[in-house]
């Protein structure tokens, strides 16, 4: 029984990592006032970059850096449209997602002569998720982010730009710079979620993000735009998904098993989560 519980726990942690990273990243972007609906595309492009980087160099480290680089570029594109051009942030995020799907499908064909998946890569050869460097980084990043948000000047400035950009500006805070920083951090963390996915699956497959970006966004909202709250909600989603996978072979109606993660979400939303209040100027472009 203990061994089964341990296996289940490790599976929960493995499934949770992409949710944890992407939802944590979303808190940086949205606390600064920029809606980041582009998480899905950022996860996807990060996974593709890691696969390409490791496949052509044989180095897992270079694969990680390539994935993070791809994610940073895509995040900067979203920031440019949303902050500099003051485009609708939701439309910009959706556009990034569509662009990521199209680009990865196109370059899969160009680089690997396949429209479905890449050749196998070795990923990170670790015996358990607890020893995975990306998992360890995720745990550290959550704790560090809580400290950054509430106990550092950068965190205070980031939260201030999301609540009242005009007030922050009058206090000498560079609103554009802070918002760019939040979106960039968000992009890098979401891309790292994609790197983890690719290394766990040892390849890139078309549309492998499979809705994780949207679930991560929901986790951040349920977690009330805080790192620890996003962590708790991400673990909840991972627990429900793990339970769903383990119940597929049980004598339970398939429809009920498939609906389990959504039922858990509804129960939490209705019974345990109070009213989530977003940053006051979330989604509003700033003009001097």
3-state secondary structure of 205: strand
217 phi and psi angles, rounded to 5 deg: -65, -40
pLDDT tier for residue 218 given thresholds of 50, 70 and 90: confident
Residues 88-92 have a mean pLDDT of: 93
Cα 234 to Cα 217: distance, rounded to the nearest angstrom: 10
Mean pLDDT of 7-26: 93
How sure is the predictor about 272, in pLDDT bands with cuts at 50, 70 and 90? low
Residue 15, pLDDT > 60, answer yes
> C-alpha angle 18/24/29, rounded to 5°?
125
Average pLDDT for the chain: 89
Identify the pLDDT of residue 6: 85
User: 210-227 burial string, b = 16+ CB within 10 Å, else e?
Assistant: eebbebbbbbbbbbbbbb
- 3 state SS of 288: coil
Share of the chain above pLDDT 70, in %: 91
How many angstroms separate the CA atoms of 15 and 220, rounded? 16
Beta carbons of 186 and 26 less than 8 angstroms apart: yes
Residue 203 has pLDDT above 80, yes or no: yes
Which tokens sit at 118?
Answer: 């890449």
- pLDDT-derived band at 3 (thresholds 50, 70, 90) equals confident
CB atoms within 10 A of CB 228: 16
Q: Taking CA 128 as the corner, what is the angle to CA 125 and CA 134, rounded to the nearest 5 degrees?
A: 70
Percent of the chain with pLDDT over 90: 64
pLDDT, residue 249, reads 63
Of residues 22 and 270, more confidence is placed in 22
Half-sphere exposure of 102 (CA within 13 A, CB side): 6
Average pLDDT over residues 216-243: 90
Alpha-carbon distance values, 93 to 35, 85, 110, 177, 259 (Å): 8, 14, 26, 19, 27
Q: What is the pLDDT of residue 242?
A: 87
236-258 pLDDT, tens digit per residue, is 889 888 887 777 666 666 666 66
Of the two residues 114 and 235, the one the predictor is more confident about is: 235
Count Cα neighbours of 52 within 13 Å in the Cβ-side half-sphere: 20
Domain ranges of the chain: 16-210
The confidence score (pLDDT) of residue 254 equals 65
pLDDT band at 265 (very low <50, low <70, confident <90, very high): low
């Amino acid at each position: 029984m203990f061994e089964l519980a341990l296996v289940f726990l490790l599976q929960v942690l493995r499934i949770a990592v992409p949710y944890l990273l992407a939802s944590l990243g979303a808190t940086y972007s949205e606390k600064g006032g920029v809606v980041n609906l582009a998480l899905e595309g950022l996860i996807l492009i990060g996974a593709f970059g890691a696969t390409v980087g490791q496949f052509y160099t044989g180095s897992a480290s270079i694969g990680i850096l390539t994935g993070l680089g791809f994610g940073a570029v895509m995040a900067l594109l979203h920031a440019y449209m949303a902050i500099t051009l003051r485009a609708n942030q939701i439309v910009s995020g959706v556009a990034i997602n569509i662009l990521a799907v199209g680009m990865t499908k196109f370059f899969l064909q160009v680089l690997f002569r396949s429209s479905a998946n890449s050749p196998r890569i070795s990923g990170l050869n670790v015996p358990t998720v607890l020893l995975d460097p990306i998992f360890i980084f995720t745990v550290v990043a959550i704790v560090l982010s809580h400290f950054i948000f509430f106990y550092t000047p950068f965190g205070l400035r980031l939260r201030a730009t999301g609540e009242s950009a005009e007030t922050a500006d009058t206090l000498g805070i560079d609103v554009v710079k802070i918002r760019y920083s939040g979106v960039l951090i968000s992009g890098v963390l979401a891309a790292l979620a994609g790197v983890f996915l690719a290394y766990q699956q040892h390849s890139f497959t078309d549309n492998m993000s499979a809705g994780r970006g949207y679930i991560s966004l929901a986790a951040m909202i349920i977690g009330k735009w805080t790192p620890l709250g996003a962590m708790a909600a991400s673990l909840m989603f991972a627990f429900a998904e793990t339970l769903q996978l383990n119940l597929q072979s049980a004598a339970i109606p398939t429809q009920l098993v498939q609906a389990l993660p959504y039922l858990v979400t509804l129960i939490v939303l209705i019974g345990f989560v109070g009213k989530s209040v977003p940053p006051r100027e979330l989604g509003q472009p700033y003009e001097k």
